[in-house]
Amino acid sequence: PLSELAFVGAGLGAALGGQRPIVEVMTVNFSLLALDQIVNTAATLRHMSGGQFSVPVVIRMATGAGRQVAAQHSHSFEAWYAHVPGLRVLAPATVEDARGMLGRALAHPDPVVIFEHAGLYNLEDDLPEPWDADIRAARVRRPGRDVSLVTYGGCLPKTLAAAGLLAKEGVDAEVVDLRVLRPLDTATLVASVRKCHRVVVVDEGWRSGSLASEVITRLVEQAFYDLDAPPARVCTEEVPIPYARHLEEAALPQPEKIVAAVRALMGAAP
């Protein structure tokens, strides 16, 4: 299970030839109390020391909503950290990635922030043999030809579910899991758009200043003439996350919202 990964960290660090710190932040909102240490110190020391020092720390934090823990414990701040040079930002959405990315992060010489969506902690799966997960590239989770659905973290299962619903309507959706939020694997995104010619970005962050905004901007910059319709995004509503279950579900991206966005996009004239 994803929830057991914290216990393998020390062993992985020892296997790499030395102990490396793994900091666990219970939920991402608590990391705001450590922004100076993470953003103003760990992310900058290699640059400020002219390459003489590095900060090989791994920071794991639970992120995301959907568990009725209300407005103060349901944030998705991935875009905040992905904004910062000097950090590597990961968002595993499968058991294989969560296990493999942790080992790769421990071997990395610079600070790595791992966002683990709390809604995925009960996931169980068998690890393939051999198993591995790099911390550089996005991954196509479902190939398709009609529309690219780009997402990460807790929205991956919802996006795959939406792709299944779209398949029943004759729409072949490709699902791209970003996995690595900084640095973004722009090449994989552009390749998907050049094949599918339409794109919807699904992001649990709020729409304003979201990671979805950055993804769409890069695609417009690098694949504008490959698009047959304007890029679309499905994000969390611009409200603090409600406590009530029905309101929380209404605020978050859901498969039905993704399907509706794709339907609107497929109706746009090329």
Catalytic residue list: 4, 73
Alpha helices in the chain (DSSP H): 9-15, 35, 45-48, 78-82, 95-107, 156-168, 186-196, 211-223, 245-251, 255-266
Q: CA–CA separation, 190 vs 242, rounded Å?
A: 35
Would you call the peptide bond into 130 cis, given omega within 30 degrees of 0 as the criterion?
yes
Q: Sign of torsion, CA 165 167 173 176?
A: positive
Grouping H, G, I as helix, E, B as strand and the rest as coil, residue 251 is helix
Pairing of strands 180-182, 147-151: unpaired
Query: Tokens representing 170?
Result: 């004759």
- Distance, in Å, from the CA atom of 117 to the CA atom of 69, rounded to the nearest integer, reads 13
CA distance readout (Å), 226 to 74, 191, 202, 231, 240? 36, 10, 20, 11, 36
